[in-house]
Amino acid sequence: MNEIMPFPGKVGLQQRVLPHYRAQFFDRLASFCLGGLSVFTGEPQKIEAIQPVESLKIAQHTLAKNISFLRGKYYLCFQRGLMDWLEQWDPDVLILEANPRYLTNREAIRWMHKRGRPVIGWGLGATRSEGLFSRTLNRFRSQYLSSFDGLIAYSSRGAEQYAEAGVPPDRIHVAINSTTLPPAFLPERVSIRGRAPRVLFVGRLQARKRVDLLLKACALIETKAECWIVGDGPESSVLMTLAQDIYPEAKFLGSKHGSELEELFDQADLFVLPGTGGLAVQEAMAHGLPVIVAEGDGTQRDLVSQENGWLVKPGDLEGLSRSLQEAFADPDGLLKKGAASYQIVLDRASIDVMAEVFIEVMNHLSKGSR
């Protein structure tokens, strides 16, 4: 990582909620903001499985009142108190979620632009709406995205989607989504030669994660691995019943955090994400684990290649079982792929690298506004 040139002014950052996995990044970013960083977030809905953070160690935190409307693809959110926070904090740069569903953000953009200050959007990407009202929704989204002075995408695929939505390419930047600072040295790992491999999944137990595919794939191959399922969710009982029927070697360990989760990452031999999204992939890689990941929304291609693991098509049971068998058949290769995972995170996908991109974009846009 290059030496980061700090941002000299005050920074405001809005998020709908503050999940626990973002705290370390926000505090790291705050350490490079000489005028301070203030984070404005609300609380998650009761139906969401989000563990919020009540306070930050370096960044300031102001709690919003989230008012939610509708559900699903028509969901909208109004954050009460955003403009009061903005006027009190009076930031030199504002970072907002690049999500047009958050209604108060447009007023915040106008407030900043009226004072000649830049606004940066940050998000996963911009998938086109389909079906009823799609034309109106897509136009609404494109207008919102074009109002930002710069956009930071979670991935190269997200950057492509912003460009497809009409945002000029020179406004778009990529900071690979990360939640972790890797250890200073590659963790030592022991070969699987002569013992049962340990396969780890970490995530919410819901249908889209396709943990059922992992259980079925483990049952299909000759090598019998220890399969550790970490997490909880609405599919827990269904998956436990399935495991009893087809793969009793699976162990459901429940939700784990902190040192307990760290220990599992250190003891595992291979991390598998058989369904969509999940920041646990980066965390596994930071611990020197090779990974098998479903391509999902396309963001995984920034992290996973033949160098450090396997990408499989979503829902491809045969491809998943084949990748597992290949992994177990080459113990030395598995260790090499784990070392490559660690290096990828160190070079491209740590919170330090993320912070560097944010600071560079803020410094660049602030020079243009002066």
Per-residue pLDDT reduced to its tens digit, 196-230: 999 999 998 999 999 999 999 999 999 999 999 99
**What ranges make up the beta strands (E) of 117-267?**
119-123, 150-153, 172-174, 198-202, 226-230, 250-254
Residue-level pLDDT at 181: 82
DSSP states of 148-182 as a string?
Answer: -SEEEESSHHHHHHHHHTT--GGGEEE--------
Mean pLDDT of 279-304: 87
| Sheet with 198-202, side-by-side order of all strands | 250-254, 226-230, 198-202, 270-273, 291-294, 309-312
Mean pLDDT of 287-301: 84
Residue pair 198/218 in contact by the 8 Å Cβ criterion: no
Measured distance CA(265)–CA(227) in Å, rounded: 13
pTM of this structure: 0.89
Residue-level pLDDT at 172: 97
Residue with tokens 């009409």: 166
Mean pLDDT of 72-79: 84
Measured distance CA(95)–CA(88) in Å, rounded: 16
Amino acid at 42: G
Mean pLDDT of 101-123: 97
pLDDT greater than 50 at residue 67: yes
For residues 120, 26, 351 and 119, what is the CA-based torsion angle, rounded to 10 degrees? 0
**Lowest pLDDT segment from 87-91, 238-242, 291-295:** 291-295
What is the SS3 assignment for 367? helix
- Domain 198-348 fold is Rossmann fold (3.40.50)
Nearest-CA neighbor of 149 among 104, 117, 108, 176? 117
Measured distance CA(342)–CA(314) in Å, rounded: 25
Residue pair 241/275 in contact by the 8 Å Cβ criterion: no
Measured distance CA(22)–CA(281) in Å, rounded: 15
Do the domains 198-348 and 11-179+350-369 match in fold? Answer: yes
Sorting pLDDT into bands at 50, 70 and 90, what band is 1?
Answer: low
What is the SS3 assignment for 198? strand
pLDDT greater than 60 at residue 132: yes
> What H or E segment, with its residue span, contains residue 86?
helix 82-89
pLDDT greater than 70 at residue 299: no
Mean pLDDT of 55-76: 88
Q: For residue range 347-369, list pLDDT tens digits in order.
A: 998 999 999 999 999 999 998 65
Q: For residue range 135-152, list pLDDT tens digits in order.
A: 777 888 899 999 999 999
Residue-level pLDDT at 370: 42
Q: For residue range 223-282, list pLDDT tens digits in order.
A: 999 999 999 999 999 999 999 999 999 999 999 988 999 999 999 999 999 998 778 899
Measured distance CA(268)–CA(226) in Å, rounded: 9
Residue-level pLDDT at 127: 79
**Lowest pLDDT segment from 29-33, 94-98, 123-127:** 123-127
Mean pLDDT of 40-60: 86
**What are residue 15's DSSP bridge partners?**
41
Residues in the chain, how many?
370
Residue-level pLDDT at 298: 63
What Cα–Cα distance (Å) separates residue 12 from each residue in 25, 29, 157, 348? 14, 11, 26, 25
pLDDT greater than 80 at residue 283: yes
pLDDT greater than 60 at residue 7: yes
> What H or E segment, with its residue span, contains residue 141?
helix 134-146
- Domain ranges for the chain: 11-179+350-369, 198-348
* CATH H-level superfamily of 11-179+350-369: Glycogen Phosphorylase B; (3.40.50.2000)
**What are residue 152's DSSP bridge partners?**
122, 173
Residue-level pLDDT at 369: 55
Residue-level pLDDT at 4: 80
The whole-chain average pLDDT of the chain stands at: 92
